[in-house]
Structure 1
Amino acid sequence: MNNDAVQAPAEVLDPQECWNLLRSVRVGRLAVWLGDRPDIFPINYTVDHGTVVFRTGTGTKLDAALSEFPVAMEVDGVNEDTGVAWSVVLHGKAVPLKAPEDVVDSFALPLFPWQAGRKDHFVRIPADSISGRRFTVTAPLTWWTPYSGIKPSSVE
């Protein structure tokens, strides 16, 4: 690794900036505990009153999200012109929208799943915590070593 490269430290984002960034993207990754291991699912989501809401069908993702364990959600982005990237992580306990007024209100949210099929379940994740970082993407050559590009021997 090239230790001569100087990289600016990551900027820690305040919660309001994290929410603003979450509003700028519509796809994230939902991390859940599934049986005896973690799992990750892509979700289309929207921000609604300091929470994240997504819709899904019946199945593994819904069951895991609504289990006894809290979930995590990660969203990130990069500005290709400036080379500045960001990442936001939210933690919370997912809850189903079941009250009639909540379900009716959810239909007005801009939730547009990419995959066809029944997506009858609306899930809300109130944030127990939210954190984020902004940083400059490191040039690939920063990670070059004298051994980069060497082909493994035929014994491997």
Structure 2
Amino acid sequence: MNTDEDPGVVLSREEAWELLEGCQLGRLAVCVASQPDVFPLNFATSGGRIWIRTNPGTKLAELTINALVAFEADEIKDGAAWSVVVKGTARVLESQSEIDAADLLPLDPWIPTRKSAYVEITPVSVAGRRFVLGAEPERY
């Protein structure tokens, strides 16, 4: 069967990671007691990991109950788009030396709140696609 649909270009892990490195806003997905939650947040990448800052609350509680998380970032610009999904494990930094190192990352809060907890996401999988935007093809 011939088709004119274009599902996008699958990116290599390196290409997907490069896009993440140039981005600052993403979404963290967690799941506790069969209930998913998604949180928009700013982030940084360093050393092949994703880093976030947060406060005690729902997000922090949920990722400490179930450390398996998904993280997504995307961008739409100039008639094209990309999306990268990272699946991995989240861990709250506890040692002062880790916190001191994380303090050096470009990870300042965007809103006037204190963010006392650092979270490191270690990827298990990284998948991405790049798309050219356009109108839906004729159905018939």
| TM-score (normalizing by structure 1) | 0.81
| Structure 1: distance between partners of 2:66 and 2:131 | 34
Residues 85 and 56 (structure 1), Cα distance of their counterparts in 2 relative to 1, 3 Å cut = same
> Cα RMSD over matched residues?
1.8
Kept after mapping to 2: 8 A contact 1:97/1:121:
yes
| Structure 1: distance between partners of 2:56 and 2:114 | 8
Query: Match for 1:21: what amino acid?
Result: L
Query: Match for 1:95: what amino acid?
Result: R
Does structure 1 residue 15 correspond to structure 2 residue 24? no
Query: Match for 2:98: what amino acid?
Result: D
Residue pairs, 1:95-110, within 5 angstroms: 95-110=91-106
Kept after mapping to 1: 8 A contact 2:53/2:107:
yes
Q: Would you tell me which structure has more strand in proportion to its own residues?
A: 2
Q: Deviations over 1:5-33 (max 9, x none)?
A: 93434111001111110011101000001
Residues 60 and 143 (structure 1), Cα distance of their counterparts in 2 relative to 1, 3 Å cut = farther
SS of alignment partner, residue 23 of structure 2: coil
Residues 9 and 143 (structure 1), Cα distance of their counterparts in 2 relative to 1, 3 Å cut = closer
Kept after mapping to 1: 8 A contact 2:10/2:129:
yes
Gapped runs of 5+ residues in structure 1?
146-156
Kindly name which structure, 1 or 2, has the bigger radius of gyration based on alpha carbons: 1
Query: Match for 1:103: what amino acid?
Result: I
Gapped runs of 5+ residues in structure 2?
none
| Structure 2: distance between partners of 1:71 and 1:131 | 14
